[in-house]
Amino acid sequence: MNKVTSILLVGVGGQGTILAGRVLSLAAALYGGQVKVSDIHGMAQRGGSVVTQVRFGPRVYAPVIDPGAADYIVAAEILEARRWLSYLRPEGVMIVNTQEIPPLPVLTGAADYPQGLLEEMRGLAGEIKVVPGLELAGAAGSVKALNLVLLGVLSRYLPFAPADWEAAITQAVPPRWLEVNKRAFELGRAASC
Amino acid sequence: MRELLLGNHAVARGAYEAGVSVAAAYPGTPSTEIIEALALYPEIYTEWAPNEKVALEVAAGAAIGGGRALAAMKHVGLNVAADPLMTLAYTGVNAGLVVVSADDPGLFSSQNEQDNRYYARLAQIPCLEPADSQEARDFTMLAFDLSERFDTPVMLRLTTRVAHSYSLVETGLRQEAGLKDYVKQPPKYVMLPAFGRARHPLVEERRERLKAYAETAPVNRVEWADRRVGVITAGIAYQYVKEALPGVSVLKLGLTYPLPEKLVREFAGGVGTCFVVEELEPFLEEQVRLLGLSVIGKEIIPRVGELSPALVAGTVGRRAALLVPDLAANWTVRDQALSQVAAALDLPARPPVMCPGCPHRGVFYTLKKLNLVVTGDIGCYTLGASPPLSSMDTCICMGASVGMALGMEKARGRDFARRLVAVIGDSTFLHSGMTGLLDWVYNRGSGTLIILDNGTTAMTGHQHHPGTGYTAAGDPTFKVDLEQLVRGLGVSRVRVVDPYDLDEVEATVKEEVDTAEPSVIIARRSCALLKKEEKGAVCKVDEGSCLGCRKCLELGCPALSFVEGQACIDALQCNGCGLCASVCPSQAISEAGVVYE
Ligand SMILES: Cc1ncc(C[n+]2csc(CCOP(=O)(O)OP(=O)(O)O)c2C)c(N)n1
């Protein structure tokens, strides 16, 4: 690979997007070359939208991804997937978890949660991979491991060795959650083929 | 060792390796992680100071006392610390003193996007601008060396994209700097007018020496390539230029003040057309123009917000493509999205919200109900300004709520003050609210100040402060007693309320705004994120008894929604604070027992 790969991880505060970004970037570092990650998480704990940008390749300059330039978007929530879709390249891949988390304007009745987003996105993106992430995470032992399920799905598209993924997960995840997260990753990886 | 480090962690690593002995800061995004990382090294004394001015003064004392020292702050923090900085520029240091200013172009979590490089110029001190984590480490180490070599504080200026990005860093071992001798030198350190007058020429002379150094400083480098187009740039903008305009010549400035005039002249003279690409203000550009050089810069590049590769492509790239069409044919970054998908504009926004169980909620709900004018302040509670609570009238800077309330009262009279409260967080009160309250007492205000005491600095990620009883390293220490403190400032009406008890909050606020003397209400409850383990019984909506009146939704709690005409509580999110049960007119909400995740 001599080009730079750009991956956007998006979700809602509390969904583990930042940890997923950490695992992904550690795996990318083990793969070799350069890695840059931009993590704006000022309000992550307060239920706002969260985005982590990961870029790796032989030489990476900018830590940010321009609209229309992401090779992959991993979205932990459907509305966030749609929000960031314009960042995907025409041939890019969108991996989206089938979860809807209503934002505050919807909760208070000021807006409606948009319907039919998945169908709309199917028509707009190159490839869409829809993942029942919560179900798989539950099967792995905790719905909180959703982020690792999604990384498992993504892993099928990336050239990193399984041992590097495992090392990255071991480094980033606290020991008491390690087994569940490894299982979640494997379920995601298996689900994607 | 090669490690993937956050820019801020790389600064900490560089300071550690450079033998720093004292580090002080007040938290502020995007600078907070620097002290958090330094606090993990037992060799280094680190502290959360009550505010940035104190942090810089602690660091200055350490440096003059002979130990290498660092003070870190967000950009607006340097406004608070500007007073010591301006005169430290005269006294100089003894051991190295580095001031980290983390600027926030794009206002990801700030109230403005001021460009603090102007402070370096105002103080006549060197300014280093790293462009990635490796440089963040390297420049921090260099900053200590320059500080000692030129006897000056040095500014290390970060921006959010450098401070909060990870990249690979080659690290080394710590070199103990040791303690330099401390020698009493009043003419150097006692800035009486006579001594200050004598120091000022030395500042001028030092700037000339720094300029000479800048000419050959390894952090300023020319990357010659196609000479038809040249770009002068620094910091994160350098990365965007390299990404968007491969093949053009670049002068990358690591030291952005003072400017290496000869180098700049040589570069600009060596290229056909010269651009200056920098975020925010035309700081470099104006200095380059003062040399009589003609460059293209802010007439096409925005002064507002962050830059990006696409923005550089769409401004400088477009212009440069006319000059080097052959090169530009290979430029892959486009100013227009490559995707066919337009950004979806009509999607509901996902603003940050107060957490379920946030103790601030009950106070703002009450202030809205009482329809009060609220001078506000900065912290998680600033979310009280957003719908549906919408009960904050002003938010300017930390501590401003207090002084502004007095000003409003003095302008509009005491009757107006009966409809007015000031609201401030505990960390913010200790940062800069105390002096405002003293003014209320001294100048006979009649205001009511509500201190939202959630026992932490929640906004920036739960740092300790003088009211928590723990140090930056997590060791137990003295804990300031807020009630005693405000009494000491001269306030005799001091009330403590539980913000989960809406009746108590309302009755107390009504009573205190009506009294004609200054009063303080301390609304005390731990931040809901800190007390997760203690999460109590969650609430549930009893089937059939909800009237569908939506009263509970006015709390803006993310655990509450409205499904098929009925209020609905997400048990996983609910924290059991019970506010919804208190506001429900039909007693439809009750405790559902403890739910374990
Ligand atoms: C001068 C300055 N320093 C730091 C900050 C960053 N900052 C904003 S609010 C805040 C503290 C909030 O703590 P507190 O007042 O206790 O309120 P909480 O977030 O806990 O509700 C900090 C550190 C700032 N905006 N301005």
Distance A42 CA to ligand 1 centre (A): 12
Window 534-573 of B: residues touching A by CB (8 A cutoff) are 550, 553-554, 556, 558, 560-562
Domain B221-344 annotated CATH 3.40.50.920: yes
What is the arithmetic mean of pLDDT over B209-226? 98
In the predicted structure, residue B173 carries a pLDDT above the cut 70: yes
**Would you say B178 and B148 are in contact if contact means Cβ atoms under 8 Å apart?**
no
CB pair distance less than 8 Å for A83 and B347: yes
Quick count: other Cβ atoms within 10 Å of Cβ B44? 23
Domain B2-213 annotated CATH 1.20.1050.10: no
Q: Where does residue B541 rank: exposed (0-12), middle (13-18), buried (19+ CB within 10 A)?
A: buried
- Looking at residue B585, the DSSP 8-state letter turns out to be T
Angular region, B19: left φ>0, alpha ψ -120 to 50, beta rest: left
Separation CA B396–CA B380 (nearest Å): 14
Separation CA B217–CA B117 (nearest Å): 19
In the predicted structure, residue B558 carries a pLDDT above the cut 80: yes
Separation CA B159–CA B168 (nearest Å): 18
For A46-177, where are the alpha helices, taking DSSP H only?
78-84, 104-107, 117-124, 133-140, 146-155, 162-172
Q: What is the mean pLDDT of chain A?
A: 93
Separation CA B285–CA B273 (nearest Å): 14
> pLDDT, tens digit, for every residue of A118-127?
999 998 888 9
Find the closest chain A residue to B383 by CA distance.
Answer: A46
Separation CA A140–CA A190 (nearest Å): 12
Separation CA B104–CA B159 (nearest Å): 6
Tokens of B61: 């004392």
Find the closest chain A residue to B357 by CA distance.
Answer: A46
Tokens of A74: 């991993």
Which pLDDT belongs to residue B337?
Answer: 65
In the predicted structure, residue B326 carries a pLDDT above the cut 90: yes
Confidence of residue A192 (pLDDT cuts 50, 70, 90): low
What is the arithmetic mean of pLDDT over B571-582? 92
Q: Does A6 touch chain B (CB under 8 A)?
A: no
Q: At what angle do helices A146-155 and A17-31 cross, to 10 degrees?
A: 30
Q: Does B530 touch chain A (CB under 8 A)?
A: no
**Would you say B128 and B156 are in contact if contact means Cβ atoms under 8 Å apart?**
yes
In the predicted structure, residue A153 carries a pLDDT above the cut 90: yes
Separation CA B94–CA B204 (nearest Å): 19
With a 6 Å cutoff on the Cβ, whether B383 touches ligand 1 is no
CB pairs under 8 A between A and B: 167
With a 6 Å cutoff on the Cβ, whether B80 touches ligand 1 is yes
Quick count: other Cβ atoms within 10 Å of Cβ A91? 11
Q: Do domains B2-213 and B535-591 have the same CATH topology?
A: no
Residues 6 or more apart in contact with residue B248 via CB below 8 angstroms = B225, B226, B228, B229, B230, B231, B241, B320, B324, B327
Find the closest chain A residue to B165 by CA distance.
Answer: A38
Separation CA B446–CA B405 (nearest Å): 10
For every residue of B501-539, DSSP letters joined together read -HHHHHHHHHHHHHSSS-EEEEEE---TTTTGGG--PEE
Which pLDDT belongs to residue B346?
Answer: 87
Separation CA A164–CA A108 (nearest Å): 44
**CA-proximal residue: ligand 1, atom 16 (nearest):** B427
Confidence of residue B593 (pLDDT cuts 50, 70, 90): low
Confidence of residue A93 (pLDDT cuts 50, 70, 90): very high
Q: Provide the residue range defining the domain that includes A9.
A: 5-191
- To the nearest 10°, report the CA torsion of A168, A172, A175, A176: -120
Which pLDDT belongs to residue B336?
Answer: 72
Distance B428 CA to ligand 1 centre (A): 6
Window 98-117 of A: residues touching B by CB (8 A cutoff) are 102-114
Distance B165 CA to ligand 1 centre (A): 22
With a 6 Å cutoff on the Cβ, whether B468 touches ligand 1 is no
Which of A34, A47, A64 lies closest to B161 in CB terms? A64
Which of B29, B347, B554 lies closest to A42 in CB terms? B29
CB pair distance less than 8 Å for A61 and B243: yes
Which pLDDT belongs to residue A74?
Answer: 98
| Higher pLDDT pick, B351 / B440 | B440
With a 6 Å cutoff on the Cβ, whether B381 touches ligand 1 is yes
Separation CA B556–CA B386 (nearest Å): 9
Q: Does A7 touch chain B (CB under 8 A)?
A: no
- Looking at residue A58, the DSSP 8-state letter turns out to be S
Which pLDDT belongs to residue B311?
Answer: 96
In the predicted structure, residue A44 carries a pLDDT above the cut 60: no
Could you give the 3-state DSSP secondary structure of residue B443? coil
Which of B167, B337, B550 lies closest to A35 in CB terms? B167
Element (H, E) at B276: strand B273-277
Find the closest chain A residue to B109 by CA distance.
Answer: A42
**Positive or negative: CA dihedral A123, A125, A130, A133:** negative
Q: Which residues of A touch B461 (CB under 8 A)?
A: 45
Quick count: other Cβ atoms within 10 Å of Cβ B431? 28
Q: Does B1 touch chain A (CB under 8 A)?
A: no
In the predicted structure, residue A193 carries a pLDDT above the cut 60: no
Which of A25, A90, A102 lies closest to B338 in CB terms? A90
Separation CA B124–CA B203 (nearest Å): 7
In the predicted structure, residue B314 carries a pLDDT above the cut 80: yes
Could you give the 3-state DSSP secondary structure of residue A91? strand
Mutating which of B159, B171, B339 best tests the A interface, going by the most A Cβ atoms within 10 A?
A: B339
What is the arithmetic mean of pLDDT over B86-113? 97
> pLDDT, tens digit, for every residue of B174-207?
999 999 999 999 999 999 999 999 999 999 999 9
In the predicted structure, residue B345 carries a pLDDT above the cut 90: no
Which of A170, A126, A129, A118 lies closest to A148 in space, CA to CA? Answer: A170
ipTM of the complex model: 0.95
In the predicted structure, residue A43 carries a pLDDT above the cut 50: yes
CATH number of the domain bearing residue A31 = 3.40.920.10
For B45-184, where are the alpha helices, taking DSSP H only?
52-64, 75-91, 117-123, 133-150, 160-163
Residues of chain B above pLDDT 90, percent: 92
Which of B235, B258, B252, B254 lies closest to B102 in space, CA to CA? Answer: B235
Peptide bond into A114 cis (omega under 30): no
Q: Does A91 touch chain B (CB under 8 A)?
A: no
Peptide bond into A162 cis (omega under 30): no
Separation CA A79–CA B41 (nearest Å): 42
Q: Dmax of chain A from CA atoms?
A: 49
Find the closest chain B residue to A112 by CA distance.
Answer: B348
Which pLDDT belongs to residue B557?
Answer: 95
**Would you say B125 and B155 are in contact if contact means Cβ atoms under 8 Å apart?**
yes
Tokens of B472: 């930056």
Confidence of residue A1 (pLDDT cuts 50, 70, 90): very low
Domain B535-591 -> CATH class: alpha beta
Residues 6 or more apart in contact with residue A50 via CB below 8 angstroms = A10, A11, A12, A13, A15, A17, A18, A41, A44
Contacts 24+ apart (CB under 8 A), B558-562: B558/A47, B558/A104, B558/A107, B558/B353, B558/B355, B558/B356, B559/B356, B560/A107, B561/A102, B561/A106, B561/A107, B562/A107, B562/A109
B209-223 per-residue burial string, b: 16 or more CB within 10 A, e: under 16? ebbebbeebebbebe
Domain map (residue ranges) of chain B: 2-213, 221-344, 360-532, 535-591
Separation CA B179–CA B516 (nearest Å): 55
In a mutational test of the pocket of ligand 1, which residue from B104, B378, B462 has the highest number of ligand atoms less than 8 Å from its CB? B378
> pLDDT, tens digit, for every residue of B51-78?
999 999 999 999 999 999 999 999 999 9
Confidence of residue B533 (pLDDT cuts 50, 70, 90): low
Q: What is the mean pLDDT of chain B?
A: 96
Which pLDDT belongs to residue B531?
Answer: 75
Quick count: other Cβ atoms within 10 Å of Cβ B402? 28
Which of A41, A66, A107 lies closest to B558 in CB terms? A107
Separation CA B35–CA B313 (nearest Å): 36
> pLDDT, tens digit, for every residue of B243-278?
999 999 999 999 999 999 999 999 999 999 999 999
Separation CA B512–CA A28 (nearest Å): 59
Distance B58 CA to ligand 1 centre (A): 20
Which of B306, B313, B255, B317 lies closest to B278 in space, CA to CA? Answer: B306
> pLDDT, tens digit, for every residue of A61-83?
999 999 999 999 999 999 999 99
Distance B509 CA to ligand 1 centre (A): 24
Q: Which residues pair with B166 in a beta bridge?
A: A37, B6
What is the arithmetic mean of pLDDT over B434-458? 98
Strands B420-425 and B373-375: parallel
**What do you get for the CA distance between the two ends of chain B, in Å?**
40
Least confident range of A141-155, A156-170, B337-351: B337-351
With a 6 Å cutoff on the Cβ, whether B466 touches ligand 1 is no
> pLDDT, tens digit, for every residue of B123-152?
999 999 999 999 999 999 999 999 999 999
Q: Does A71 touch chain B (CB under 8 A)?
A: no
CB pair distance less than 8 Å for A48 and B243: no
Q: Does A33 touch chain B (CB under 8 A)?
A: no
With a 6 Å cutoff on the Cβ, whether B114 touches ligand 1 is no
Separation CA B15–CA B3 (nearest Å): 16
**B360-532 adopts what CATH topology?**
Rossmann fold (3.40.50)
- Looking at residue A25, the DSSP 8-state letter turns out to be H
Quick count: other Cβ atoms within 10 Å of Cβ B372? 19
Q: Does B242 touch chain A (CB under 8 A)?
A: yes
In the predicted structure, residue B525 carries a pLDDT above the cut 90: yes
Atom of ligand 1 nearest to the CA of B111: 25
Quick count: other Cβ atoms within 10 Å of Cβ B173? 7
CB pair distance less than 8 Å for A37 and B388: no
Which of A34, A62, A103 lies closest to B168 in CB terms? A34
Window 279-308 of B: residues touching A by CB (8 A cutoff) are 308
With a 6 Å cutoff on the Cβ, whether B147 touches ligand 1 is no
With a 6 Å cutoff on the Cβ, whether B50 touches ligand 1 is no
> What's the helix, strand, coil split of chain B in %, to 5?
40, 20, 40
Find the closest chain A residue to B237 by CA distance.
Answer: A62
In total, how many domains does chain A have?
Answer: 1
Q: Which residues pair with B273 in a beta bridge?
A: B229
Tokens of B454: 């959630």
In the predicted structure, residue B3 carries a pLDDT above the cut 90: yes
